[in-house]
Amino acid sequence: MKTVLLAPLDPVHDNAIKLLRRKLEDAGYTAVSMPPGTTEDEVVEKALTLHPDAILVSRTLGYKVAETLGRLVDLAEAAGLREKTRLGVGGMAITREVGAELGFDATFAGDLNMADVFAFIEGKALQAEASKLPTVAREKPSVVEGYTYTFKDKKIEALLDQITTQILSFVSDKTSDGIERARLREEMLDQPAGSPVLTQLRARYIALCDEETAAFYNNGKLPSGVRWLGAEEVARIPEVIETTLAPHEPLQHAGKRPYIFVQYGTGCPVMDIMHIKTAEAWGADGILHFDPSWGAQREGLLEGCLTHEHDGTILTYDNLNLIHQYKDPATMWNVRGHRGLNTAETQILGARAGADLFKINIPYGGTAGGTDPERLTVDGVFSLRLAAKYGLPFDIPGNDELSGVPPHKTFAGILIMMMLGLKLGGQPIPKPLLCYSPYMQIYGYMDDNMVDMNTAKLAVWREIVDTPIWPGEPVGFMTHTPDRVQSAMTTAAHVALAATLGVDAITMASSDEAYSKGPISAPARVDSLRAVRDLLRFMGSAKFLPTPKASDLLEQIHRGITETLQTIADRGDFTASIYEGHLGSVDDGLYPGRTGRGTVRTLK
Amino acid sequence: MRIIGFAGTAKNTGKTTTALAVLAQCVSANLATALTSIGFDGENRDHVTGLPKPRYNVGAGALIATAQKLLRVGSAVVEIRETTAIQTIFGPIMVAEVTKPGTVVLAGPNRQSDLAVVAAIFERLGADVTLVDGALNRLVPLIGTDALVLSTGAAFDERIPVIAEHAAALASLWSPHTFAITLPASLNIQILYSDGATAEIPGGSLLSESAQANLLHSLHHPVHRLVIPFACHPRLLGLILERLPGSQLVLGDPLKCIASGDPLNWQKVWQDCSRLGVTPSYLHSVPVRLMTVNPFFPRFIASEHRYEPAYVNSAELVEAVQVGITLFPVMDIRQPPEPNFIRLLDLSPKEQL
Amino acid sequence: MSEALDRIVDALDIETYFYCKSEEEARDLAEALIAELRLPHGDIVFLEHRGWGARVRIRTYIHRPGDHYRWMDKKEEAK
């Protein structure tokens, strides 16, 4: 094993050296450290007897310090050490420029990255290389790994079985233009460009689109504000992002989970790529594609690399492909298709472009998502079959809570989706929303603190079923303000609470979450990721301590879920239950969606 | 090809300004010129004082050696001629030719052995002259050059007598001559006793009191020659010299000596040598052709937390430094007349000699 | 536009604290600052007045999604 000589070259401080020594010894190196106040001569003299593979010096740059460091390097060369011993320096204000001026082989600026230090000692790659390529090839993690989906609450399991049997029976003889388009798209993607078969398939596809979408295919008419992405812009991406590649430094401090996801969808795939690379560089594990809201309300999707100056990046195979090409291979990628008329086709595009996760929620899409419940039930079940076919887990966001729906009704809807997915061979992931929802505000459940209710909302899942849990979307919803620090802080607090409750993944916001007059900015992503990193560091393996009220809330939610499911089971008609408000009523601020009403066809 | 190294006693003593002046004359004399640096040259402003720094503005045809990631930083357009295996903080060292004039950022080889590799490439690509900019107070990599230009000035110390005393001590390092016989290459301290016996002490350097005690222990009977090929602290030589009357002391190189200890301490060594009849010499030495002095220094304005440019009297400075130095000329290159660097540095094309 | 501005990926935020008597005055000052700094389409993201001053964050987008991004432009560079 290699030997490393550590020297503080500082009259007083050697904390960095002590830390380095411990970490090097843990990694199996022989680390010899010198005390504070050691001179350059003593370091070189020690090296002459020790013959270390590397000397690491820690020093804060200050008055005449550069000269001291420069002399160390010069003396090391005068003593003939430099041919075999590599010299590294780290400390406050030590930049790469300073390191190069002083003649060091490597600099370690900012937070200590041990992967860089090991690479340097091993002489495998200098820091310049280490900062360009991940030093450890990351493997893509799995959110669902380790869960059996065994129901602990047998009553709920029985109710879900009853409800989903009805749903599957209801959809068994039904189809829609959305489903037929998905089937056509799957065939189209197998055809070479320009083939006559493709032209025929596309003609059939266009026949199933609404007028606006058909106009795109027939007359090349782009929706308002949309433009083609230039070939030159696309060609420039690799060069532009080359400099942004950085080793992945996990945000997690204690353990590997929860995996941290961020949402993107600036409207422009190129800007998305920059934001994705930014999020990756600051530690995000996964990303979620957000499309424009109009994409859910139209029959049919567009084709090609398209950009526009509005929220949400247009869902096309080419846009997804472009993004997939540049995201880190180990970054988990969720393409959402949970709420609109193109839900089924979205799963096809996502799967073909390399997505790792889908997002499907019929009750949410059929209410707050604006799509007719009957249509989304038919398209949604078809989508769940696709998720199972492609072997991709799907998550079920509980964002209907934002309308004012109580958690137990939202969770009942999520559970129905879970059971549907399980019956069709899928791997569902419930996404309870940690938020300051209207329901909490009206009924005062968070008047004292935000820990009890959020703890109850996560703990209830552990009582019901052995499932991964992924709070979103994003956590802390409605606690954010346009103040940057407040926003990053409240995101971090919710992430930390969820993390200490043992969840598997979390979707977090940027500090622009509550700013509505412009797109999310790259610096806003960094703000929140930095805050999360530090709060996870702060918490480590420690836990929040909820008040006894959390147990009451847990019991209340659990009971509410059972009652809701009982009502729906008794009603015997899932879509009717949505229309009638059993999963969220007009009183709860929820209205059945209308887009696509009357478009479900019964197969002969 | 001639390799000229530029070394300073401190930051802001005018290394780069001098190198730029030499570069301009090389260009005028139609010498194919190559540039590199053992440090990092190319920032517009000093990273400590915030004061402007001279930039390398290079004409078409010049060769440069710098780290890969810095090739695109300046305004000059360059064409890569060779990629070396020398790794640095900013990536591998590349040798490139300037095709469109502009500024370049130089961060080249930082070790003597790497400088030799780069110089060989420059020579193969047809360079007549290679200019190597120093870095801060670092000198040792410049052992691989053919001639040195030293720079000192008020940035080293604002007191003219202190500058002059230090400059004279520095110059004294070049009074011992290079050892006449080539010794067998060794990494160790070598002792040749008067009776012909020999001994070696591993390490090759003398930097601590324990190393000194170890060496003293070996000086038990009369010594003809002591060779310390690497670093050697002058303060540790005093007791050693007392055991070596009438012998030869062979040190590695004046630049290694400067890296090892203060020139003022070396002056004391030469005095001891003289008193004890010890003949000091070097295994290797690069001649100094010129010393430039710079009256500039950054003055700190404490109330405003910033530096401002300030100057000592140039004529007084030159005169004070000249008094103690006879081995090479001393000048402030900003004062007329403009020195003829081509002649001073022996850069004339061969056919004109 | 300067090279540094060209390199801003999307938003440029300016954060400060105004000496002022009211939120209204702070808003006027923020808008005046937007005009003085000639920030295109400058917007007040956050403004909160307490006591004798106001915490303010102003934003302008140097590049919006879908724009031509000048940070992608090629500089003259090594072959």
**Is a pLDDT exceeding 80 seen at residue A198?**
yes
Is some CB atom of chain A closer than 8 A to the CB atom of B130? no
Find, among B7, B53, B84, the residue nearest to B328 by Cα.
B7
Which pLDDT belongs to residue A36? 84
Interface list for C 3-62 with A (CB within 8 A): 9-11, 13, 15, 43, 45-46, 48, 55, 57, 59, 61
CA-nearest residue of chain A to B259? A75
B326 phi/psi in degrees, rounded to 5: -115, -15
Nearest to A74 by CA among B40, B140, B255: B140
Place of tokens 């007009």: A586
CA atoms within 13 A on the CB side of C22: 3
A132-136, A186-190, A373-377: least confident range: A132-136
Cβ(B107)–Cβ(A100) under 8 Å? yes
CATH code, domain carrying B337: 3.40.50
Check if C75 contacts B (Cβ < 8 Å). yes
Q: Do residues A409 and A588 make contact, with C-beta atoms less than 8 angstroms apart?
A: yes
Convert the pLDDT of each residue in A401-456 to its tens digit: 888 899 999 999 999 999 999 999 999 999 999 999 989 998 999 999 999 999 99
Q: According to the model, what pLDDT value does residue A110 have?
A: 66
Helices A343-353/A177-189 angle, 10° precision: 20
Q: Residue A510 in 3-state DSSP?
A: coil
In terms of C-beta density within 10 A (0-12 exposed, 13-18 middle, 19 or more buried), how is residue A444 classed?
A: exposed
End-of-domain residue from the set B249, B282, B315: B282
CATH number of the A176-528 domain: 3.20.20.440
Mean pLDDT of chain A: 90
Question: What whole-number distance in Å separates Cα of residue B338 and Cα of residue B28?
Answer: 14
| Exposure class string for A85-121: b at 16+ Cβ within 10 A, else e | bbbbbbbeebebbbbbbbbbbbbbbeeebeebbbbbb
Q: Do residues B187 and B329 share a domain?
A: no
B28 and B101 inside one domain: yes
B235 and B170 in a single domain? The answer is no
Name chain C contacts of B77, Cβ cutoff 8 Å. Answer: 76-79
Tell me the domain boundaries of chain A. Answer: 3-130, 176-528
- The 3-class secondary structure across C11-68, one letter per residue, is EEEEEEEEECCCHHHHHHHHHHHHHHCCCCCCEEEEEEEECCEEEEEEEEECCCCCCC
- Among residues B167, B138, B131, which one has the least CA distance to residue A71? B138
CATH top-level class for A3-130? alpha beta
**Residue range(s) defining the domain that contains residue B331:** 2-174+286-352
Question: Per-residue confidence at A135, pLDDT binned at 50, 70, 90?
Answer: very low
Q: How many domains does chain B fold into?
A: 2
Cβ–Cβ under 8 Å, residues B217 and B240: no
Q: Are strands A3-7 and A428-431 parallel, antiparallel or unpaired?
A: unpaired
* 8 Å CB contact of C65 and A483: no
User: Taking 90 as the threshold, does the pLDDT of residue B37 lie above it?
Assistant: yes
Q: Are C72 and A483 within 8 A, CB to CB?
A: no
User: CA-to-CA distance for B324 and B172, rounded, in angstroms?
Assistant: 9
| CB–CB contact A74 B259 (8 Å) | yes
Residue B216 shares a structural domain with residue B159? no
B300: its two tokens: 């700190």
The per-residue b/e assignment along B24-63, b for 16 or more CB within 10 angstroms, e otherwise, is: ebbeebebbbbbbbbbbbbeeeebbbeeebebbebeeebb
Low-confidence ranges of chain C (pLDDT < 70): 1-2, 75-79
On whether the CB atoms of residues A491 and A532 are closer than 8 A, the answer is yes
Do C66 and A274 make contact, defined as CB atoms within 8 angstroms? no
Q: Which residue from C minimizes the CA distance to B95?
A: C78
Cis peptide before A474 (omega within 30 of 0): yes
Whether residues B83 and B140 share a domain: the answer is yes
**CA distance, residue B94 to nearest chain C CA (Å):** 11
B41 plus B17 within the same structural domain: yes
Residues B195, B305 within the same domain: no
**Number of Cβ within a 10 Å radius of residue A2:** 15
pLDDT tens-digit profile of A349-361?
999 999 999 988 9
Residue-wise pLDDT for B122-178, tens only, equals 999 999 999 999 988 889 999 999 999 999 999 999 999 999 999 999 999 999 888
Write the residue in C75, C76, C78 that is nearest to B80 by C-beta.
C78
Residues B62 and B170 in one domain: yes
What residue type is assigned to position C46 of the chain? F
Contact partners for chain B, using 3 or more CB pairs closer than 8 A, are A, C
How far is residue A100's CA from residue B107's CA, in Å, rounded to a whole number?
A: 7
CB–CB contact B135 A101 (8 Å)? yes
Region label for A572, one of left (φ > 0), alpha (ψ between -120 and 50) or beta (otherwise) = left
Whether residues B207 and B103 fall in one domain: no
- Out of B224, B249, B282, a domain closes at B282
Q: Give the closest residue to A513 by CA, choosing from A545, A529, A535, A491.
A: A491
Q: Using an 8 Å Cβ cutoff, are A342 and A300 in contact?
A: yes
Q: What is the pLDDT of residue A580?
A: 92
Query: In percent, how much of chain B has pLDDT > 70?
Result: 98
Task: Summarize pLDDT for A290-349 with one digit per residue, the tens.
Answer: 998 888 889 999 999 999 988 899 999 999 999 998 898 889 999 987 788 999 999 999
- pLDDT tops 50 at residue A128: no
Residue A130 has pLDDT above 70, yes or no: no
Q: Are residues B67 and B201 part of one domain?
A: no
Q: pLDDT tens digits, residue range A246-278?
A: 667 889 988 889 999 999 999 999 999 999 999
Asked if residue A176 has pLDDT above 80, the reply is: yes
Question: Among residues B228, B256, B282, which one ends one of the domains?
Answer: B282
Question: What is the CB neighbour count within 10 angstroms for residue A28?
Answer: 9
Q: Which residues contact A63 (CB under 8 A, 6 or more apart)?
A: none
Report the pLDDT value the prediction gives residue B353, as an integer from 0 to 100. 43
| Dist. CA B173–CA B167, nearest whole Å | 10
Q: B73 vs chain C: nearest CA distance in angstroms?
A: 8
Give chain C's domains with CATH numbers: 3-63 (3.30.30.60)
